[in-house]
Amino acid sequence: FILFLVVLLGSLLIYVVKKYKHKVRYEANIDSKVMDVDEDRYWKGGLIYMNRQDPSVFVEKRFGVGWTMNLANPRGYIVIGLPFVLLLLISIFSL
């Protein structure tokens, strides 16, 4: 129980610090040029969004309704890969 509490509080602290840093970076760049996510150079085949300078993981789809992922963002790989890793771990430990 103590270990769970330490991990939970540590994760919360890391999250708060990262959100604060992101907010400070955003406020510092608020006067800079606004990024247009609809530019052709960021869309591969018109369907896959890849932009390293864009910090957001999810962006609105170019066509239709919904959201897609920024596949050039490392956090996007985590969002995609984490469910697969969890399924793999569950299947390994359930044997």
pLDDT value at residue 32: 59
Does the reported pTM lie above 0.75? Answer: no
pLDDT band at 90; cut points 50, 70, 90: very high
Give dist(CA 51, CA 48) in Å, integer. 10
Give dist(CA 44, CA 50) in Å, integer. 7
Q: Do 49 and 95 belong together in one domain?
A: yes
Count how many domains the chain has. Answer: 2
Q: Do 14 and 51 belong together in one domain?
A: no
Q: Do 28 and 41 belong together in one domain?
A: no
Q: Do 44 and 25 belong together in one domain?
A: no
Q: Do 88 and 42 belong together in one domain?
A: yes
Question: In the predicted model, what is the mean pLDDT of the chain?
Answer: 83
Residue range of the domain that includes 12: 1-32
